[in-house]
């Protein structure tokens, strides 16, 4: 199978950002524009007078092709393995290989380092399309692209780019290691310590809940180099699998996204060279905040993809397969209203996701938009995936189809990369700032 990103490269280089796909799409697509329309920022901050208003959910030709190609790949190559991977609580190694072959693991990495050199929205599109089929594969791609790749591209120097980006684009899965047994929502209370040595650093401590831990070869680890400075001692390091003293202590068994590995990691006197420092000492907390702000848009996309996948699966069943009282169950008005309500909520969540993505690309402040997108998309995913089980009756409850899996998978959206309460806190804090005299 030809690589998706290679097939799109010529287009991504030549397509003007406002050229739109002429093809009518089954789902809404965002438009790439120099500026995104804000529902949240004071409009007087941005001069929009020269722009022709376009729907936020239309996308460029490149992004549309990305969506179509990833959707096809997900349905054909991942779809048949979803149930088996969930039951085995393991990611099929061939899926990981294919993700690299397809170029989906280096979407924003520049071409000179083996990546696809595409934009952030292309990554969001891929995460969403994968989640329509399997949210576990989607989160692997999300963490790898929006957290690990982004951190190294943004904060690494030229040497770090040369050392890590080609691996991340072609064969090495990345993990983002911030949470610890005693620090989840209060992430910067982390206890993992770094000490300076003559040639580099020594890391000691534990990380918990680490996605991709099993498959990863590169771990972006946050540790405190100077606890006397509190969170201002937090520093980002890169640790490779196989470094003496590094171990995977435990793999968690979970309610949902069971094919995605989530592990406890131990670091016992892990010695790394100076070149494994990412960026500057003491800047780790800033990096983590900034990366997670972006990453949240990815989780929001995962949740909208999940919601759409659960909705489509149930819609096909009620409108094609199941008859009761002599008619298709999707023809009862009581069902139709629920189905329409759910789709409307998915469309609203997608608008928030793509608005946040466009604002990030446009260099605007997107923190509140990302938090709102993640909060709302995970709520919608939970509601829609739950309703989809009910619409399918007993067939939604059994482990043959994907309905019950999507329902289980949806719960994680309210927990990782900042719980729903933490998103609400962020939104409220920013609103209060705007509305305080």
Ligand X SMILES: Cc1cc2nc3c(=O)[nH]c(=O)nc-3n(C[C@H](O)[C@H](O)[C@H](O)COP(=O)(O)OP(=O)(O)OC[C@H]3O[C@@H](n4cnc5c(N)ncnc54)[C@H](O)[C@@H]3O)c2cc1C
Question: Which residue numbers are catalytic?
Answer: 417
238 touches 284 (CB < 8 A): no
Whichever of 30 and 298 has its CB closer to ligand X, that residue is 298
Question: Does the footprint of ligand X cover residue 249 (CB under 6 A)?
Answer: no
Instruction: Please choose, out of 5-13, 351-359, 367-375, 419-427, the segment that lies near ligand X by the rule CB under 6 A.
Output: 419-427
> Which one of 55, 79, 110, 184 is in contact with ligand X (CB under 6 A)?
184
The number of beta carbons lying within 10 Å of the beta carbon of residue 321 is 12
Task: Write the DSSP assignment of 162-218 as a string of letters.
Answer: HHHHHHHHHT-EEEEE--BTTBSSSGGG---EEEE-SSEEEEEEEEEEEETTTTEEE
With contacts defined by CB under 6 A, how many residues of the chain interact with ligand X? Answer: 21
Alpha-carbon distance of 425 to 289, in angstroms, equals 14
Alpha-carbon distance of 337 to 170, in angstroms, equals 46
Whichever of 285 and 416 has its CB closer to ligand X, that residue is 416
CB 31, min distance to ligand X, A: 32
377 touches 310 (CB < 8 A): no
CA nearest 342: which of 354, 328, 353, 330? 330
CB 412, min distance to ligand X, A: 5
CA nearest 162: which of 154, 153, 171? 153
CB 431, min distance to ligand X, A: 16
Instruction: Please choose, out of 19-27, 113-121, 179-187, 296-304, the segment that lies near ligand X by the rule CB under 6 A.
Output: 179-187
CB 303, min distance to ligand X, A: 14
Scan residues 120-159 and list those touching ligand X (CB under 6 A).
143
> Which one of 14, 75, 94, 185 is in contact with ligand X (CB under 6 A)?
185
- Residue number of the CB closest to ligand X reads 184
Vertex 422 angle, CA 420 and 427, to 5°: 95
304 touches 349 (CB < 8 A): yes
Question: Does the footprint of ligand X cover residue 415 (CB under 6 A)?
Answer: yes
For the chain, counts of helices (H) and of strands (E) = 14, 10
Can you state the percent helix, strand and coil of the chain, rounding each to 5? 55, 15, 30
Alpha-carbon distance of 136 to 260, in angstroms, equals 5
- The helix/strand/coil state of 251 is strand
> Which one of 21, 66, 165, 177 is in contact with ligand X (CB under 6 A)?
177
Alpha-carbon distance of 351 to 55, in angstroms, equals 9
Whichever of 278 and 422 has its CB closer to ligand X, that residue is 422
> Which one of 262, 276, 338, 410 is in contact with ligand X (CB under 6 A)?
262
> Which one of 210, 272, 353, 389 is in contact with ligand X (CB under 6 A)?
210
C-alpha torsion sign, points 72, 10, 142, 171: positive
CB 250, min distance to ligand X, A: 13
Instruction: Please choose, out of 124-132, 205-213, 329-337, 382-390, the segment that lies near ligand X by the rule CB under 6 A.
Output: 205-213
Question: Does the footprint of ligand X cover residue 217 (CB under 6 A)?
Answer: no
> Which one of 33, 179, 192, 355 is in contact with ligand X (CB under 6 A)?
179
Whichever of 301 and 342 has its CB closer to ligand X, that residue is 301
> Which one of 37, 100, 155, 209 is in contact with ligand X (CB under 6 A)?
209
CA nearest 345: which of 298, 390, 388? 388
Alpha-carbon distance of 41 to 270, in angstroms, equals 45
Whichever of 137 and 210 has its CB closer to ligand X, that residue is 210
> Which one of 37, 100, 176, 354 is in contact with ligand X (CB under 6 A)?
176
> Which one of 219, 287, 354, 416 is in contact with ligand X (CB under 6 A)?
416
Site track for ligand X across 394-413, x = CB under 6 A = ------------------x-
List contacts with ligand X (CB under 6 A): 143, 176-179, 184-185, 209-211, 254, 262, 412, 415-419, 421-422, 425
């Amino acid at each position: 199978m030809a690589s998706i990103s290679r097939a799109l490269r010529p287009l991504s280089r030549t397509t003007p950002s406002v050229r739109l796909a002429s093809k009518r799409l089954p789902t809404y697509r965002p438009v790439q524009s120099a500026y995104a329309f804000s529902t949240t920022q004071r409009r007087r901050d941005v001069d929009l007078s020269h722009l022709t208003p376009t729907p936020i959910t239309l996308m460029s030709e490149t992004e549309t092709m990305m969506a179509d190609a990833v959707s096809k790949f997900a349905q054909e190559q991942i779809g048949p393995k979803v149930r088996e991977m969930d039951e085995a609580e393991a990611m099929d190694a061939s899926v990981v290989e294919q993700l690299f072959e397809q170029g989906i693991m280096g979407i924003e990495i520049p071409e000179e380092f083996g990546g696809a050199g595409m934009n952030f929205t292309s990554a969001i599109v891929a995460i969403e399309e994968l989640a329509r089929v399997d949210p576990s594969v989607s989160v692997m791609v999300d963490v790898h692209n929006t957290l690990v790749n982004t951190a190294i591209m943004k904060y690494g120097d030229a040497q770090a780019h040369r050392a890590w980006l080609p691996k991340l684009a072609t064969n090495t899965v990345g993990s983002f290691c911030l949470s610890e047994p005693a620090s989840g929502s209060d992430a910067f209370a982390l206890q993992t310590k770094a000490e300076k040595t003559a040639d580099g650093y020594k890391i000691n401590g534990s990380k918990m809940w680490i996605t991709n831990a099993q498959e990863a070869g590169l771990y972006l680890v946050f540790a405190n180099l100077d606890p006397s400075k509190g969170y201002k001692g937090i520093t980002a390091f890169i640790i490779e699998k196989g470094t003496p003293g590094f171990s995977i202590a435990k793999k968690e068994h979970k309610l949902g996204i069971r094919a995605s590995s989530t592990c406890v990691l131990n670091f016992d006197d892990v010695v790394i060279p100076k070149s494994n420092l990412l960026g500057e000492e003491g800047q780790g907390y800033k990096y983590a905040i900034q990366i997670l702000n972006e990453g949240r848009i990815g989780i929001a996309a995962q949740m909208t993809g999940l919601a759409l996948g659960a909705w489509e699966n149930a819609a096909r069943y009620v409108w094609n397969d199941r008859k009761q009282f002599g008619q298709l169950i999707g023809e009862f008005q009581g069902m139709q209203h629920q189905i329409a309500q759910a789709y409307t909520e998915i469309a609203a969540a997608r608008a928030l996701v793509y608005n946040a993505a466009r604002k990030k690309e446009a260099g605007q402040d997107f923190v509140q938009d990302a938090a709102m997108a993640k909060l709302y998309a995970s709520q919608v995913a939970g509601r829609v995936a739950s309703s989809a089980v009910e619409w399918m009756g007993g067939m939604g409850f059994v482990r043959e189809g994907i309905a019950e899996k999507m329902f289980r998978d949806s719960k994680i959206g309210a927990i990782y990369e900042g719980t729903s309460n933490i998103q609400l806190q962020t939104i409220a804090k920013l609103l209060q700032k705007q509305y305080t005299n």
